[in-house]
A and B are shown apart, each in its own frame.
Chain A
Amino acid sequence: MTLSTFFRTKGLGLVAWLAGIVFFLPVAWMALTSFHSESDAATNPPSWAASLTLDGYRDFFGAGGGASPWPALINSTVASVVSTLCVLLLALPAAYALSIRPVRKWTDVLFFFLSTKMLPVVAGLLPLYLFAKNTDFLDNIWLLVILYTSMNLPIAVWMMHSFLSEVPVAVIEAAQIDGARLPTVLTRVVAPIALPGIAATSLICFIFSWNELLFARVLTGVVAQTAPVFLTGFITSQGLFLAKVCAASLVISLPVLAAGFAAQDKLVQGLSLGAVK
């Protein structure tokens, strides 16, 4: 085997492996550091083989007397899960009216939804803040639920539209000719085909809500702070705290990593608003 054929057959695979490892290294290092003691986490050269401990995690969960992350984690869960449910509740009927039984000019409506996604968060942040301050909505998790719903609704409508469009019209018509009424058609014909897509859409909406910082930072304080806001407490250095930072970052990223890997195949479709299959 000559060098050039080796490179063509095996070499590029090796390059790909190398690239994968380089990109993954920071994440792997974060995971490793989170299991080190604070003194082993802050060495130069790095201590790869230092003994492992759960101290970083104990510290993060408040054993060292710091603030407990549980309220923030619960707030994030509420904001992400409830807003995702609201998105489904609003997006499913809308996508139905845009694909299975389309209204007139349905493409215009679809593009209106998309255009709202292009309106930056800062476009409405100040009025929302003033509104919240003058009502009971400042530091209130339900305001975030509403905003996250609006943030994810366009993505969900686009994705659901593309999933519902995959349901063949002929099958629906055949079912109707056989006397099936709409609820039956929806549960027996449409749902089985569209369900994997709906699941992927939910996971993507969950990820975006869980990650969001700007709204949460401005509109919440103590009571309703979310996990990303909790993390901003680590921005300024506080002595030796690398293991704790890594443990915190990893724990808070775990739901996103899990949801992302679960939705891997549909991730592109969601991120490209359904434009890429």
Chain B
Amino acid sequence: MTTPTTATPPPAVSVPRARAAQSPGAPGRLRVWATRAPLLPALVFMIVVTQLPFVATLVISFFDWNALYPDARQFTWFGNYAEVLTDPDLRKSVLTTILLTVAVVVASLVIGLALALLLDRRFRGRGLVRTLLIAPFLVVPVAAALLWKHVLYNPEYGLLNGLLHYVGGPQPDWISNTPLLAVEVSLIWQWTPFMMLILLAGLQSRSPELIEAARMDGAGPWQIFRHLTLPHLRRYLELGALLGSIYIVQNFDAVFTLTSGGLGTANLPYTVYQTFYQAHENGLASAAGVLVVIGSIIIATFALRVVSSLFREEASRG
């Protein structure tokens, strides 16, 4: 279904050339299409590859369809949705998704803000510290989850218990005792650098004159932070929170690797995966998938608003 669209770019590239050869007074309609042409391959590609499968998911979500019994497939209206919303396991995964997303986003934003404030100052080796801090974000997510699972959390010879051993501390089995927290901590470790980078960019876009003027007027560091820095950072905090939410709501790698969805850590993406890949309940999985989309749309509406306001600000400044 998609091969024809991937093959289209060459003509699109040649169209603007043809257009440039035309006189400025070429017929209007042709001209409009010539301007649009470079855009079309990308647009058509995106619609085919992302929107069509979603429409198919939507259709399947109204069918009672287990892949193991294809003959028993029948239309059930909202039956799957009712089942998703009443099934205790699935309802729990909705709650888990929310808990996981909120905890990771809030914690990584707060730590990221602290780190960004530290890095906004001049000190020896600042570039190196920044590089050290970015590293967790640049470990392949599955590798990071494996690192936490086997090398750090391992109750017998993991690094965490190894360090606790030095101070005579307890030797807990981290993943079994606090499974959701274990997943959250590994994700916070990976996502804090992301938040830090966005907030650091925000801090560095403050006007130094304004801060200098406030300092001249006798404002202390806390007052400057509270009344100048924080209001300026508001948009960047929102952006970080929303983009972080979009990525973490969809998280699959950490849940799959650290706990395989066990011990009450199954979030919606993992549940959808399990429902069709292992339980073969196509209709049910699609209904759960549609619910994930609805949740994402709610977040996305806010996200788009924030991005567009930043975008307009950039445009008016440029």
Contact = CB atoms under 8 A, between A and B. Distances in A.
B274 to A, nearest CB: 11
A199 interface: no
Contact of A277 (B41, B201, B253, B292): B201
A181 B53 contact: no
B162 to A, nearest CB: 4
Given A93-B9, A129-B276, A234 B118 contact: no
A25 B132 CA distance: 9
B229 interface: no
A272 B198 contact: yes
A131 B243 CA distance: 30
Question: What's the dominant secondary structure at chain B's contact region?
Answer: helix
B94 interface: no
Contact of B253 (A101, A213, A218, A271): A213
Interface in B165-205: 165-166, 171, 189, 192-194, 197-198, 200-202, 205
B42 A94 contact: yes
Contact of B165 (A45, A116, A260): A45
Question: What's the dominant secondary structure at chain A's contact region?
Answer: helix
B239 A276 contact: yes
Contacts of A119: 50, 54, 293, 296
A203 to B, nearest CB: 11
Contact of A126 (B57, B189, B306): B57
Contacts of B56: 124, 126-127, 130
How many A residues are at the interface, by size bracket? Answer: 35 or more
Contacts of A249: 139-140, 143-144, 146-147
A42 interface: yes
A23 B195 CA distance: 14
B125 A17 contact: yes
Contact of B257 (A113, A232, A250): A232
Given A103-B35, A157-B42, A27 B49 contact: no
A10 B136 CA distance: 26
B303 A118 contact: yes
A93 B293 contact: no
B42 A123 contact: no
B269 A245 contact: no
Interface stretch (B72-80, B83-91, B206-214, B281-289): B281-289
A10 B118 CA distance: 11
A273 interface: yes
Given A116-B46, A120-B269, A228-B142, A26 B6 contact: no
B157 A42 contact: yes
Given A116-B46, A150-B46, A272-B243, A109 B292 contact: no
A67 interface: no
Given A20-B129, A23-B135, A121-B269, A149 B147 contact: no
B243 to A, nearest CB: 6
Contact of B189 (A26, A30, A89): A26
Contacts of A189: none
Given A15-B118, A245-B150, A260-B134, A182 B20 contact: yes
Nearest to A232: B142
A44 interface: yes
B9 A231 contact: no
A104 B31 CA distance: 12
Given A93-B42, A124-B57, A153-B42, A260 B137 contact: yes
Nearest to B253: A213
Given A232-B257, A253-B138, A109 B39 contact: yes
A36 B70 CA distance: 52
A99 B168 CA distance: 62
B146 A90 contact: no
B119 interface: yes
B316 interface: no
Interface in A125-181: 125-131, 146-147, 149-150, 153-154, 157, 162, 165, 181
B297 A118 contact: yes
A264 B134 contact: yes
B308 interface: yes
A222 B296 CA distance: 33
Nearest to A14: B123
Nearest to B2: A146
Of B146, B269, B286, B290, which is in contact with the most chain A CB atoms at under 10 Å from its CB? B146
Interface in A256-273: 256-257, 260-261, 264, 267-268, 271-273
B289 A126 contact: yes
Contact of B296 (A30, A112, A120): A120
7 residue pairs, one from A and one from B, having the closest CB atoms? A124-B53, A13-B123, A93-B38, A127-B56, A249-B143, A260-B138, A118-B300
